[in-house]
Structure formats: structure tokens, C-alpha cells
Homo-oligomer: A and B are copies of this chain.
Amino acid sequence: MQIAFLLYDRFTALDAVGPYEVLSRLPGAEVVFTAARPGPVLTDSGSLSLTADLPLSEVTSPDILIVPGGPGTAAQLTDRAVLDWIRAVDANTAWTTSVCSGSLLLAAAGLLQDRRATSHWICLDDLAGLGAVPTDERVVFDGKYATAAGVSAGIDLAFHLAGRLAGDAVAQAIQLVVEYDPQPPYHAGSTATAPAELVAALRANGLAVTAV
């Protein structure tokens, strides 16, 4: 079972590494990181690179595709080679998935037309503009398409997927191995629970976190 992660300049590391840490532990998993060119791919912070193992041209039939998001998504939306590759491999995937703004790439490739999907909360209008039916759920399944909300939501998506791929017992074993028993000290992780003025401020300044 090959699981392919698409990397591109200025993607968000946790979007990929969260699901990777879960799905790479599935019995029989073969994980591959792929990008236009193999080698280090710089993340959005400018201070962390993940290595792409293979160029897109050498990853032709993954069983599972995972497309992360990040500030770099916008540039990929008009990259014909990337969108063509997503469409081509999707023809044979068992699951085509995304985290955060990665769903915009699936939609731009034409895969989410009239499908229920999610994205980072700041991207939901853009997702609608690309033909999908946006929802504000954390993980959304529609057919073989699974999309997660922002950044950390990819971890939850991966556990849902692990259960469908290998059964509840295996998914629970992985949960215990990575000790996924989250205990956030704050409750500002969604637009429903965060202070409204915080949502407005981040929306206004493009998610820049500033000192207060």
C-alpha cells in the first residue's frame, strides 16, 4: 500500500507530518514524499525542510494521496503540472485526501465538484469558489475524498483513515503508540470556540500572529 505525500515550496510541515506519523505505522504501508524535484523542500516558516524522495514523474499510482496545505498552496493553484499529476494519480487511488488548504488543490484539479469538503477555516470561501460544497466539520468524507480542516486536523483525518484501512483495533494501537490523548491548555482551536475578535483579527491580517 503506497501512501504518497505531495510536497511543494512553503507547505506547512505539520499538515504532512501529522498524517505521516499515523499512516506510516499501518502494517504494509510504504510512504513516499514526492515533489516536482526530489531533495529538500522548504516549509512555510523558512526554517525547516523535508526531503522529497522522488519526482512526481516517478510516483504514478499511489494507493493513497495526501495533499498538505500552507501559504505555498496559492502558487500551486495555477501550476498545470501539479494539477495534472493530482488528476492522473487520482484515477487509481483508493483514497484522495488533503489537509488544510490542500483541498483547494484537489478542487482546482476538478476532483471536488459538488462534493462536501473542508479546509482551513480561512479558506472555506475559496473552496466554494472552486466548486466544492464547504463544511466547517473537522474531517469530511465524500466518496473516496477525505478532507481535513487546518494543519493539526490532519492527525484526526489520519485516524479515521487508519480505521477504514486497517480496522479499529489497528487504529487504536497506533493511537496508543503515538500517545494521542490531546489536552490543549486553551480552547481557541476553532472559530466556534475562539474569541470572535481573535477570529476577526487573524482573518484581517492573513493569519499573522503578532505580539499583544
**Residue positions of A touching B, CB distance < 8 A:** 12-14, 17-18, 20-21, 24-28, 30-33, 40, 45, 47-51, 53, 100, 120-121, 138-139, 149-153, 155-156, 159-160, 163, 166-186, 188-191, 193-195, 198-199, 201-202, 207, 209-212
Expressed in whole angstroms, the minimum distance between the Cβ of A35 and any Cβ of chain B is: 13
Top 6 nearest A-B pairs by Cβ distance? A150-B179, A181-B189, A172-B188, A182-B182, A151-B178, A14-B21
Q: Once the chains are docked, how many angstroms separate the CA of A139 from the CA of B155?
A: 19
Q: Are B26 and A21 in contact (CB under 8 A)?
A: no
Q: Name which residue of chain B comes closest to A45, CB basis.
A: B24
Q: Once the chains are docked, how many angstroms separate the CA of A26 from the CA of B211?
A: 8
Known: A51-B51, A150-B179, A176-B190. A185 touches B163 (CB 8 A): yes
Q: Are A152 and B139 in contact (CB under 8 A)?
A: no
Q: Are A51 and B53 in contact (CB under 8 A)?
A: no
18 more contacts with CB within 8 A, not counting A153-B181, A175-B189, A175-B194, are A13-B20, A30-B47, A31-B45, A47-B53, A48-B51, A49-B51, A51-B51, A121-B179, A151-B179, A152-B179, A156-B182, A156-B185, A170-B209, A172-B188, A172-B198, A173-B188, A175-B188, A181-B184
Q: Are A182 and B155 in contact (CB under 8 A)?
A: yes
Known: A14-B21, A31-B45. A186 touches B163 (CB 8 A): yes
Q: Which residues of B contact A195 (CB under 8 A)?
A: 172
